[in-house]
Structure 1
Amino acid sequence: MEKVKVDLVVTGYVFNDKKEFLLIYHNKLNKWLPVGGHMEQNETPDEALLREVSEETGLSVEILGKSEIGMGGNVKTNLATPFHVNVHNVGDHDHCSLFYVCKAKGSGEIKLQEEEVGGFKWVKKEDLNQEFIPKDVRNIALKAFETVE
């Protein structure tokens, strides 16, 4: 049996001060998704997530869930711990996705990367059952909301 290619990706459930999370319209996949993308070589998951959020939305964010374990020995930095990890199919290959909760910093003004992103919506917990939100996004969002409530 031939192994399917697996890409490592990061996904951020970005929340604003109103406890709404950000969905973007992904032009290539033709659906509403949280912000995220592929990790690049020599990039940590935290670096990849900060880069993807900035590229796709212009937002600066704080990644929640940083480890409280003290540093020592040869440890350079502690990274955020994903609140969820899954593998899902995206056509001819799979994505191993690390999911994080983030808080938008600054003005929160969105500047979309228009080649990849066709729009954005801030979503409240009570609005998660809207038809345009994929079921897997909804289920993971429910867990993300637990972090910010």
Structure 2
Amino acid sequence: MHRQLLLQLLQQHSPADPNEQAMNQATIAFVEQYPDCFERSLLIGHITGSAWIVSPDRTQTLLIHHRKLDRWLQPGGHADGDPDVAAVALREAQEETGLTSLRLLMPADGTPAIFDVDVHQIPARHDVPEHLHYDIRFLLEADPDEPFGVSDEIKNIQWFSLEMVDNYTDSESILRLIRKNMA
């Protein structure tokens, strides 16, 4: 079954708090219920993959200012049928930032590990109704001195010190990622 790898990763994930635990459980239930969970054509919601990108010294993170959502976020996007959500996160990060030094950080066994799970509402836009993104987030590392590429989806890309991020967003989801990074 093409959902087994993701279900295994979700079951092995250790959420940071009760809120993330509830989202992790909701994501497991969603993936078990919908064989087409990786397809954006599933209009009630779908799996997305995101990258929490940090500098090698873990003092900075990279955020993008998303053009459509008009918010600072971590890079990420739709799986579009790909059940390898870690590969989705890496691909989306490369496409949105243009960075070539991106590296997926994994435990010693070489198996990707989920860094964070978040379920959030996406507003209706054109012919796409309001829906949920079941966002699976992975930890990536990149060189903060590498120049960025250009993406039509992005208004801005910037490295932030972890202490400065809350000046640009009050998203509990992003703040949880920072707390995990600093732990």
Fold equivalence (TM over 0.5): yes
Cα distance in structure 2, aligned partners of 1:52 and 1:127: 24
Give the stretch that moved more between structures: 54-63 or 35-44: 35-44
Cα distance in structure 1, aligned partners of 2:66 and 2:96: 10
Amino acid paired to 2:62: L
Give SS of 1:21's match.
strand
Are positions 1:95 and 2:133 aligned together?
yes
Amino acid paired to 1:80: P
Give SS of 2:114's match.
coil
Match of 1:11? 50
Larger relative contact order, structure 1 or 2 (CA cutoff 8 Å, min sep 6): 1
Match of 2:146? 108
Give SS of 2:82's match.
coil
Amino acid paired to 2:120: H
Report if the CA contact (8 A) 1:23-1:33 is conserved: yes
Q: Where is the strand percentage greater, Structure 1 or Structure 2?
A: 1
Deviations 1:53-99 (A, max 9, x none): 111111131111x2444xxxxxxxx5411121121111200000111
Query: In the comparison of the two structures, how many residue pairs are matched?
Result: 133
Q: Where is the helix percentage greater, Structure 1 or Structure 2?
A: 2
TM-score by length of 2: 0.65
Percentage identity across aligned positions? 23
Cα distance in structure 2, aligned partners of 1:105 and 1:5: 37
Give SS of 1:129's match.
helix
Match of 2:24? none
Structure 1 stretches of 4+ moved >3 Å = none
TM-score by length of 1: 0.78
